Amino acid sequence: RRARVRGCGAAMAALLEHESQIFLELFHRDGLAVCARGLGIDRLLLRFLRLYCEPASLVLVLNTSPAEEEYFIDQLRSDGVVHLPRRVTNEIANNTRYEFYTQGGVIFATSRILVVDFLTDRIPANLITGILVYKAHRIIESCQEAFILRLYRQKNKQGFIKAFTDNAVAFNTGFCQVERVMKNLFVGKLYLWPRFHIAVHSFLEKHKPEVVEIHVAMTPAMLAIQTSILDILNACLRELKRYNPVLEVEDLSLENAIGKPFDKTIRHYLDPLWHQLGAKTKSLVQDLKILRTLLLYLTQYDCVTFLNLLESLKASEKAFGENSGWLFLDSSTSMFVNARARVYRIADEKLNQKGKVSEKRDVKKENELKRELILESNPKWEALREVLKEIENENKNSDNLGGPGQVLICASDDRACAQLREYIIAGAEAFLTRLYNKTFGKDEKAGEVWIKDRKAVKSKGNAKPDIGPQAKKAKLTASLKQNKHKKQQDRTIIQMIGKTEEEKREEVEVEDNKELSSSQDSTEETIPEGFDVNLPSDCYYGIFKDPLTIIHPLQGCGDPYALTRVLHEVEPRYVVLYDAELTFVRQLEIYKASRPGKPLRQFCDLFFFSTCRVYFIIYGGSTEEQRYLTALRKEKEAFEKLIREKASMVVPEEREGRDETNLDLLRDARPASASVDTRKAGGQEQKSVQQTIIVDMREFRSELPSLIHRRGIDIEPVTLEVGDYILTPDICVERKSISDLIGSLNNGRLYAQCISMCRYYKRPVLLIEFDPNKPFSLIPRGSLHQEISSNDVTSKLTLLTLHFPKLRILWCPSPHATAELFEELKQNHPQPDAETAMSVTADSEILPESDKYNPGPQDFLLKMPGVNAKNCRAVMNHVKSIAELVTLSKDELSQILGNATNATQLFDFIHLTYGEALAKGKSKK
């Protein structure tokens, strides 16, 4: 083993100093590593993966998403690893899976499959080298992964368990969260690597990228709007607290309200008692959400989008007559005024224009009246343009550095990116006008035409400075523009986008700058006429210019590693952060630090790296800045708390479960931490018979099987045709969550399930399981109608019990309670047999006492038209078999059924031939 460590020590050179330190620590002793966001937890995992990518070891990776798996596999492939990790999916047949596992290597597996494989011994548990757990903060007691780890530890005492997470904040909720998670992970060591860890800090300090922070002042109007929104937010929060004094106050501060996870926090507090809240509180929560969106829009997007949102809010208010208090506050009025002022001059000026009262105004105003639209451009855009100019200037002198450096612009989401791109290409005014026309254009079209002309001329003038960085292309584009401007303004812009889109595609193929000019001509001709503005949202936005510029969204793309990938592909020299995000800043640091270590240096000189410059555009003193700082502080606090907890943590020696003393592994009836049942603490004698419950394969998505197993009951996973859980030979349980229940009551599935359960088991049970996080109640308070309606859940449930008097219903508030109940129900009963349970299908023997009639033909009869539950018995009493039934005449039928129409229906149904039916069907159509 030692040799291998040394062997990979060489390969580890690519790891950063602190990373290799974490790696070694974690390698020698199992543990839970908590890193700061963006500090390369994925790189760490990747390192471990590479280490174990060999047939001699068998390593399972839990809790990864398909996109992440894809990323890791890709990375390893590019590293030239021979035995790539494989994925276990349901495509691999049950019987071949054992072989699959024994082939070794790293395996990504879905938890559901793993659980079943562990339970059925389909996986060679004793051969597993170890398990790596990603996103370990999600391992709570009842989840599948914890179940897997428990099963693994029971069967394998030697293998390792190493867990990774970069979400320190998640440990901050609840009491002793870290310790609980560690207990579930069966690890005894906690490794904390915050950003302020001495090793990390000093290391990154050495490789600090050059950071230029640009604090942009907001325009007065924006500032005013922001203050009013904050005012309103504050008022709403106060109201909320007034109505719900029970709420924990400290978390509902204004500062938190700005931060991102606020919605979640508030739901977290309110969910359990949601049904008890008054309408007022609910609407307040709704308002808070809207206000937060407004705040985001204010800094993120342009003035037009913001106003549009605001106006639509007001309009919907009027339309629905909803009464959210905040719209009537003083602050909101000022917000509206300011928002409008950002887009156009005060409203009565417009009136002036229409009402021809403009003579009263002085001449200067007259001048401005012509412009009507102000269209305040986003200050950040200005800053961005300046930055781009600066970069361009530098690029001009950079020929000796091996060509111009690439630029990466990062904004928060797709919309912002699209806007930015349009801005860079078209310039602020043209863009805003277009937006404005789109949103408000309809009612002002008349006065708009000449303005448009003016704008066209203006933006032509603007075109050059705006498109500044496009050094070579500028002239080309300008001339192109002039042609197009004679047509409609809108279209020009759309086509230009079309063009850049085209170019982007080429960019992928042709990395070389020189080919630009040659490809230029071809693109001009191939402009599709109506190129859609809506671009594929998942891809990054590239603008191919002299220096390659790429705008990339920070969030909202499907691939969590897209950014990292882009970083490594593009190798930008300049990074402009249009919106601040914690993770990405860290990622940049790591990226920066990892560069010098790579052999890239051979063809790029050192200077290249030292100029990797980060521009940080942020509104000074705005909520945006506040949000960023709050996120930083939160993480820091979380780490500090973790450190304190670590210091005071008592880790029992047997925690890792390598010997027999770990209590968690002893699956006795006493619950480990949750749901304490004191009545049983008196130490029951373990029965000599091992309790067993047969569980349907499909049930492994829920957490119940894990909890049952925990209580010392063996689980046999099989595919059941009838029921979900077989507790005893008599008791068969169908589990339904609330949404399931409603759904299957409506589509008839539950009815069919009940029929078969009643037919084959003495005690069929319907288990209604509630979500422990939601209120324990079937229907929300106050939604009870005056009349009995056949659509209510209660009515249907009643009907169900009426028709299945044998069916028992269990109401369980949580899976924990269910597991407990199951155990008690099983006491003093014989164990079920998997073989018989599996063979329970419609063919098997039915309970003797159930019916004197054969259920098969009975079903058959009931499905025929004209036969219903009432006359079915009459038919069965008179007719021996279906074969006899079809020989009866219409008269005989009506005698049996006691109804002529029914008889005709039935008779026709039996005797109508296929050909006739087809003909009928066709004539109908």
Partner 1 sequence: VSPQRGNPVLKFIRNVPWEFGDVVPDYVLGQSSCALFLSLRYHHLNPEYIHERLRGLGRSYGLQVLLLQVDVKDPHQSLKDLAKVCLLTDCTLLVAWSPEEAGRYLETFKSYEQKPPDLLKERVEQDFLSRMTDCLTSVKSVNKTDSLSLLSTFGSLAAVVAASREDLSLCPGVGPQKV
- Which region among 68-76, 518-526, 581-589, 748-756 touches partner 1 (by CB under 8 A)? 748-756
Q: In terms of C-beta distances under 8 Å and separation of at least 24 residues, what long-range contacts does 725-728 make, across chains too?
A: 725/693, 725/694, 725/695, 725/696, 725/699, 725/767, 725/822, 726/693, 726/694, 726/832, 726/837, 727/693, 727/822, 727/825, 727/826, 727/829, 727/832, 728/825, 728/826, 728/829, 728/830, 728/831, 728/832
Q: Is 198 in the site for partner 1 (CB under 8 A)?
A: no
What is the rounded distance in angstroms from the CA atom of residue 249 to the CA atom of residue 883?
Answer: 75
What is the rounded distance in angstroms from the CA atom of residue 490 to the CA atom of residue 492?
Answer: 5
Q: Which is nearer to partner 1, 206 or 922 (CB)?
A: 922
Q: Which is nearer to partner 1, 720 or 745 (CB)?
A: 745
From the list 521, 452, 520, the residue with the least C-alpha distance to 492 is: 452
Q: Is 821 in the site for partner 1 (CB under 8 A)?
A: yes
Q: Which is nearer to partner 1, 208 or 803 (CB)?
A: 803
x-or-dash string of contact with partner 1, 673-712, rule CB under 8 A: ----------------------------------------
What is the rounded distance in angstroms from the CA atom of residue 382 to the CA atom of residue 359?
Answer: 36
Q: Which is nearer to partner 1, 606 or 802 (CB)?
A: 802
Residue of 242, 361, 396, 911 interacting with partner 1 (CB under 8 A): 911
- Which region among 276-284, 474-482, 690-698, 796-804 touches partner 1 (by CB under 8 A)? 796-804
Q: Is 829 in the site for partner 1 (CB under 8 A)?
A: no
Residue of 276, 856, 889, 900 interacting with partner 1 (CB under 8 A): 856
Q: Is 909 in the site for partner 1 (CB under 8 A)?
A: yes
Q: In terms of C-beta distances under 8 Å and separation of at least 24 residues, what long-range contacts does 260-264 make, across chains too?
A: 260/627, 260/631, 262/288, 262/292, 263/289, 263/292
- Which region among 127-135, 183-191, 414-422, 818-826 touches partner 1 (by CB under 8 A)? 818-826
- Which region among 8-16, 60-68, 442-450, 907-915 touches partner 1 (by CB under 8 A)? 907-915
From the list 628, 626, 622, the residue with the least C-alpha distance to 298 is: 622
Q: Which is nearer to partner 1, 626 or 744 (CB)?
A: 744
Q: Is 901 in the site for partner 1 (CB under 8 A)?
A: no
Q: Is 743 in the site for partner 1 (CB under 8 A)?
A: no
Q: Which is nearer to partner 1, 665 or 817 (CB)?
A: 817
Name the residue type at position 490. D
The answer to whether the beta carbons of residues 373 and 428 sit under 8 Å apart is no
Residue of 81, 374, 800, 874 interacting with partner 1 (CB under 8 A): 800
Q: Is 843 in the site for partner 1 (CB under 8 A)?
A: yes
What is the rounded distance in angstroms from the CA atom of residue 496 to the CA atom of residue 487?
Answer: 13
Q: Which is nearer to partner 1, 534 or 791 (CB)?
A: 791
The Cα-based distances of 293 to 257, 351, 408, 630, 863 in angstroms read 11, 31, 27, 18, 54
The Cα-based distances of 450 to 3, 304, 430, 462, 657 in angstroms read 80, 20, 14, 18, 80
H/E stretch holding 444: none
Q: Is 502 in the site for partner 1 (CB under 8 A)?
A: no
Burial pattern 117-142, b for ≥16 Cβ within 10 A else e, equals: bbbeebbebeebbbbbbbbbbbbebb
Q: Is 274 in the site for partner 1 (CB under 8 A)?
A: no
DSSP alpha helix (H) spans, 510-581 = 515-525, 562-570
What is the rounded distance in angstroms from the CA atom of residue 499 to the CA atom of residue 531?
Answer: 9
Q: Is 748 in the site for partner 1 (CB under 8 A)?
A: yes
Q: Which is nearer to partner 1, 388 or 840 (CB)?
A: 840
Please list, in sequence order, all residues whose beta carbon lies within 8 angstroms of the beta carbon of residue 901, skipping any fewer than 6 positions away: 866
Q: Is 891 in the site for partner 1 (CB under 8 A)?
A: no
Looking only at the bridges linking them, the beta strands covering 549-553 and 210-216 are unpaired
DSSP sequence for 417-431: HHHHHHHHHH-HHHH
- Which region among 31-39, 64-72, 440-448, 858-866 touches partner 1 (by CB under 8 A)? 858-866
x-or-dash string of contact with partner 1, 344-383, rule CB under 8 A: ----------------------------------------
Closest distance to partner 1 from the beta carbon of 848 (Å): 18
Q: Residue count at the site for partner 1 (CB under 8 A)?
A: 74
Residue of 799, 839, 847, 900 interacting with partner 1 (CB under 8 A): 799
Residue of 596, 712, 729, 813 interacting with partner 1 (CB under 8 A): 813
Residues forming a β-bridge with 764? 732
Closest distance to partner 1 from the beta carbon of 836 (Å): 18
164: three-class secondary structure by DSSP? strand
> Please, which of residues 861-890 interact with partner 1 by CB under 8 A?
863-865, 868-870, 882-883, 885-887
x-or-dash string of contact with partner 1, 714-733, rule CB under 8 A: -----------------x--
Q: Is 246 in the site for partner 1 (CB under 8 A)?
A: no
> Please, which of residues 766-795 interact with partner 1 by CB under 8 A?
776-779, 781, 784, 786-788, 790, 792, 794-795
Q: Is 912 in the site for partner 1 (CB under 8 A)?
A: yes
Q: Is 817 in the site for partner 1 (CB under 8 A)?
A: yes
* Residue 736, number of CB atoms within 10 A of its CB: 21
Please list, in sequence order, all residues whose beta carbon lies within 8 angstroms of the beta carbon of residue 336, skipping any fewer than 6 positions away: 310, 314
Closest distance to partner 1 from the beta carbon of 800 (Å): 6
x-or-dash string of contact with partner 1, 84-123, rule CB under 8 A: ----------------------------------------
The answer to whether the beta carbons of residues 876 and 867 sit under 8 Å apart is no
Residue of 175, 446, 915, 923 interacting with partner 1 (CB under 8 A): 915
Q: Is 539 in the site for partner 1 (CB under 8 A)?
A: no
From the list 198, 636, 214, the residue with the least C-alpha distance to 388 is: 214
From the list 509, 480, 503, 475, the residue with the least C-alpha distance to 492 is: 480
Q: Is 802 in the site for partner 1 (CB under 8 A)?
A: yes
Q: Is 750 in the site for partner 1 (CB under 8 A)?
A: yes
- Which region among 30-38, 474-482, 503-511, 808-816 touches partner 1 (by CB under 8 A)? 808-816
Closest distance to partner 1 from the beta carbon of 845 (Å): 13
Q: Is 910 in the site for partner 1 (CB under 8 A)?
A: yes
Residue tagged 């982007």 (tokens): 504
Tokens of 350: 């417009």
Closest distance to partner 1 from the beta carbon of 910 (Å): 5
Residue tagged 């894809």 (tokens): 70
